[in-house]
Copies of this chain bind each other. A is one copy, B any other.
Amino acid sequence: MTHRIADIAAALGAEFAGDGEVMVRGASEPQQAGPDDLALAVNPKYADGLAQGAAIAAMLWPGADWQALGMKAAIFAPRGRLAMAGLTSMLDPGPDIAPGVHAMSVIDPTAQIGAGAAVGPFVTIGAGVVIGPNARIASHVSIAEGATIGPDALILQGARIGARVTIGARFVCQPGAVIGADGFSFVTPEKSGVEEIRETLGQRADIRAQSWTRIHSLGAVTIGDDVEIGANACIDRGTIRDTTIGNGTKLDNLVHIGHNVQVGNDCLLCGQVGVAGSARIGNRVVLAGQCGVNDNIFIGDDVICGGATKVFTNAPAGRVMLGYPAVKLETHVEMQKALRRLPRLAAKLAEREKVIQKS
C-alpha cells in the first residue's frame, strides 16, 4: 500500500513542501532508504545519511533546506518523535489475523464477541466472556470465564487473560503476557521469620520449621482504557479486591505486578520492572528498566526512577530517584562521587594517622 506525501502530512497535521503527489510505500532510515521510502531525518545529524540513501521524500527537522538535501518532497516535524507516532501508526500493517472466528478455536456459547472481530486459531474464550467490537485476537490466546474486554482490543499470540478480569477500550497485549495469575501470598501457622524481622529490623529469636499455606486470590484484575501490556509480563489477581492498572498506562516486557497493586494513569513501567504486593503507584509515574518497588509502599504522582532503582519506602510526588536503596537523583550522584574518592581519602587519612601516631 502506498501513500501520497500530501496525505501523510495531512494525517499528521504537519506541513509539507515540494511535490505532494510523491508516493511512498514505507519508512526507512536515511542511508538505507530506497526511492519508495520516506526517509526519516528529524534531526540535522541525519543529513549525511540522506545523501547516501536514495530517498526522494523525507520527514525533516523544522527549517531544513529540503531542496539542497536532494528531496522532491518533505514533511516537517516540529516534534519528531510525535510525528513518528502518527507516521508509524499509518504504515503499520498490523498482525495478519483473518476476519471472523477461526474454526479451530473453542468459544463458549455464552461468550459475546462484538462485531468486526478477528479471532485466530487455537484461541479459547470462556463462559460469560464479553468482548467489545473490532477485537483482533491472535492465535493461542486464552480468555477465561467472566472476563470483559472493551472495544478495539489487540491481543497477541499466547496471551493469557484470567477469569473475571476487566479491561477497557483499545487494549494492546503483547504475546505471552499473563493477566490474572494467582497472587503470591502465603502464611505460616505461627509468626514467620519475615514477619519477625520486619518488627525487629533484622533480629531473630528461635527459628521455627514451618510450611506455607496458600491464601487464594478471590479478586481479579481491573485495567483501564488505552493500556498496553508487554510480552511475557505478569499481573496478579488481588486477594479480595482487584489489582488495578489505570487509564493510559503502559507496561513493558517481563514486568511483574504483584497482588493488590494499584497503578495509576499514564504511567510507564519499563522492561523487567517489579512491583511487590499491595504497593500503590500514582499517576504519570515512570519506572525505568529493572526498577523494583517494595510491597505496601506508595509512589506519588509524577515520580521518575532511573534504571534499576529499588524503592523501599514511600516516595513523594514529583521526586526523581536513583539507586539501591532509592534516593534523590542528585543525592545519588553526590554519594557515588564521594564513594569513588573514598578509597583514596581513607588511604590519606591512614597515612596522616601514622604521622600523628609517630609524633
Contact = CB atoms under 8 A, between A and B. Distances in A.
Contact of A95 (B163, B215, B318): B163
Interface string A76-98: 00010110110011011101100
Nearest to A253: B234
Interface string A124-143: 10110000000000111010
Contact of A292 (B28, B204, B289, B325): B289
Contact of A181 (B253, B304, B318): B253
A132 to B, nearest CB: 19
29 contacts: A26-B218, A28-B240, A81-B215, A82-B213, A84-B215, A88-B216, A92-B218, A95-B144, A95-B163, A104-B104, A138-B142, A144-B157, A157-B160, A160-B231, A174-B178, A175-B181, A176-B232, A181-B231, A184-B252, A184-B271, A194-B268, A210-B266, A212-B250, A212-B266, A254-B254, A258-B271, A272-B272, A307-B312, A338-B343
Contact of A184 (B28, B139, B270): B270
A178 B156 CA distance: 11
Interface stretch (A15-23, A65-73, A327-335): A327-335
Contacts of A138: 142
- Identical subunits present: 3
Which of A29, A88, A156 has its CB near the most chain B CB atoms (within 10 A)?
A88
A355 B165 CA distance: 67
